[in-house]
Structure 1
């Protein structure tokens, strides 16, 4: 796709987010299965529900704008998911793996936060108010997920992993 206009860039950003989110729909169940901590597993399962909703929101924006979201593969998300998959397959203590899963999930969240922030800014500049509102809602959910992951890491999981070294 040639990027001649800000609208072209906006569509490209949405295609990237759509690819990223659809890849996550496949990856999150694997992360949930690998998590030994119930809160972390539940968090991944909850985020899977949110991610499916994010896919639907992006589809609705594309439908309203009369463009397609297919035909692009988000290589960054592919790489982040590959790294997470490699972590899952490592021989690791459960709490240490959980701490690693949180790190992998937060890298994903930060990528999504950057993408949704960019797409929202473009939508605002282009006067696509409904799209901007939808993207803002998703952006806030991504930020909330990041905060939940940090809270989970600092309240229990990192302590459990650290205690293994003391034993």
Structure 2
């Protein structure tokens, strides 16, 4: 796909976000299973409902645009999944495993927030309906809340 317009870019980014959210469902399950502590496990288990709601919002945006939901892979997301497979499997101690799990979760949320910020900017530039921006903003707020929960655990480990 050659990107010639902001609309092309918007559609590409929407497909990438959709792909990422579908992958995140599996990622969160894997991270919850790899977590050593209940506290860390609960962060990922608890975010699953948010992720499902985010997917539904994205599907509604596709519907609003008159398109079938479609995915476009992302090298960033594939790299994150490879990172999870490599590092979570190698870590033997519980404390380090929780640190790896949380770190991967933080990277994921930051990628997601960046994609959403780009889509919000493009939606505004394209004068798309407020409902589109509202859905992206809600997804971004949920990603920021998840990021904050993860960052709190890291901060607690640094300053016991």
Q: TM-score band, normalised by the shorter chain?
A: over 0.9
- Contact 1:36–1:98 (CA<8 Å) still a contact in 2? yes
8 Å CA contact 2:18, 2:71 repeated in 1 = no
CA distance in 1 between counterparts of 2:24 and 2:137 reads 20
Contact 2:28 / 2:45 at 8 angstroms: preserved in 1? yes
> How many Å separate the matches in 2 of 1:14 and 1:139?
14
- Provide closer, same or farther for how the CA distance between residues 75 and 69 of structure 1 changes in structure 2, counting only shifts above 3 A: farther
Hey, what does 1:165 align to over in structure 2?
A: none
SS at match of 1:8: helix
**Match of 2:50, SS?**
helix
Moved more, 92-101 or 67-76: 67-76
After superposition, give the CA deviation of every residue in 1:69-127 in whole Å (9 maximum; x if it has no partner).
Answer: 32521221111011012122114210111011111111111111100000011111111
Gaps of 5+ in 1: 161-167
Corresponding position of 1:141: 142
* Structure 1, 83-92 or 126-135: larger mean CA deviation: 83-92
Cα deviation, 1:38-67, whole Å, max 9, x if unaligned, reads: 111010011122111111111000001112
Aligned Cα root-mean-square deviation (Å):
1.5
Match of 1:60 in 2: 60
CA distance in 2, matches of 1:21, 1:64: 19
**Runs of 4+ more than 3 Å apart:** none
The size of the alignment, in residue pairs, is 159
- Calculate the TM-score normalised by the size of structure 2: 0.92
Give the structure-1-normalised TM-score: 0.89
Q: What's the CA shift string for 1:136-167, capped at 9, x where partnerless?
A: 111111111111101011114x568xxxxxxx
CA contact (8 A) 1:14 1:69 kept: no
Contact 1:23 1:78 in 2 (8 A): no
